Amino acid sequence: MSSAPPAPAAPPALQPQFASVDDTATRLQAAGYLTDPGIATSVFLADRLGKPLLIEGPAGVGKTELAKAVAAATSSELVRLQCYEGLDEARALYEWNYKKQLLAIQANAGTGDWQETSDDIFTEEFLLARPLLTAIRRSESTVLLIDETDKADVEVEGLLLEVLSDFQVTIPELGTVAAVRRPFVVLTSNATRELSEALKRRCLYLHLDYPGAEREKAIVLSRVPELPAALADQLVRTIRALRAMDLKKAPSIAESVDWARTLLALGIDTLDEAAVASTLGVVLKHASDHARAAEQLHLN
């Protein structure tokens, strides 16, 4: 009589780290991230419900920075999986250290016991944990950032669905590795392709866009407090004008901050046409964007 298959491991218990939406906003701000009620609520609910948070929006609006801020606010280790075309299970989850295994096989050559050698080389000593497995195995507070998910192939989404549903991984040679503590999971997407509905169903969703003028000014001044407020106003107005153009790559918030630091370093106190023309390379990174901005801002 065959025995029943073992029951799947129970998902790890929730260990919420934020007391309320207000607590979330306060701690994120203390970590250097200026939030708003929608962002704070999404982060709080992802923490309280134990669901991954999918953050979608154009490049450079602070999606990755939000994950870093959550890690800082909760004193968590940030484990990052950077997605790209061609990413596979070996790079995302785990792989075996084949060079070390080969050396072990050569060292045991002549013993005549292949089964013993085979058992010896598929142990923890030869396992290379990649970001997904690393995050699952950690017993300490962890933020797992799956960055630019839309750049990965569709097949990777199947792997993510498996890992994020039960927070456990089966390694044929070692058995099932189940999370002791559920990581806080953030997935980011620049919306270059549509993610599967199955993956979206497992996540809470937050859309981030470029901030309004006042909020962007506050962000710039929080990162570059020495910048005069009047100059910050000029910078933000110019950045917003650039984003309104049909550019290949609109300036990100990080580039706004870089521009502010550039103006301070050069001792520029007024963002006039000459100042914009001489420093435009800080925020625009394509020749065609420079030409379009020069034409529309009358910098020639």
Last residue of a domain, one of 75, 105, 129: 129
pLDDT value for 2 = 42
The answer to whether residues 51 and 145 belong to one domain is yes
The answer to whether residues 141 and 237 belong to one domain is no
Largest distance between two CA atoms of the chain? 86
The answer to whether residues 289 and 226 belong to one domain is yes
The answer to whether residues 169 and 292 belong to one domain is no
pLDDT value for 13 = 66
Tokens representing 27 are: 């701690």
What is d(CA 150, CA 190) in angstroms, rounded to the nearest whole number? 7
CB 189 within 8 A of CB 150: yes
pLDDT value for 148 = 96
Per residue, the 3-state secondary structure of 44-98, as one string, reads HHHHHHCCCEEEECCCCCCHHHHHHHHHHHCCCEEEEEECCCCCCHHHHCEEECH
The answer to whether residues 49 and 117 belong to one domain is no
In a domain, 16, yes or no: no
pLDDT value for 3 = 46
The answer to whether residues 254 and 231 belong to one domain is yes
pLDDT value for 5 = 46
The answer to whether residues 225 and 261 belong to one domain is yes
Segment (H or E) for 168: strand 168-171
In a domain, 121, yes or no: yes
In a domain, 9, yes or no: no
Tokens representing 79 are: 């484990």
In a domain, 12, yes or no: no
The answer to whether residues 102 and 62 belong to one domain is no
User: Exposure string (b/e) for 152-170, b if CB count within 10 Å is 16 or more?
Assistant: beeebbebbeebbebbbbe
- Residue-by-residue DSSP string for 186-206: EEEE--SSPPPHHHHHTSEEE
Per-residue pLDDT of the chain (300 residues; tens, 9 = 90+): 444 444 555 566 678 899 999 999 999 999 999 999 999 999 999 999 999 999 999 988 999 999 999 999 999 999 999 999 999 888 999 888 888 878 877 777 656 565 656 667 777 788 888 999 999 999 999 999 999 999 998 888 888 988 888 888 888 888 888 888 899 999 999 988 999 999 999 999 999 999 999 999 999 999 999 999 999 999 999 999 999 998 999 999 999 999 999 999 999 999 999 999 999 999 999 999 999 998 888 776
**3-class DSSP state of 142:** strand
The answer to whether residues 186 and 232 belong to one domain is no
Tokens 């006042």 sit on residue: 214
User: What residues make up the domain containing 221?
Assistant: 213-296
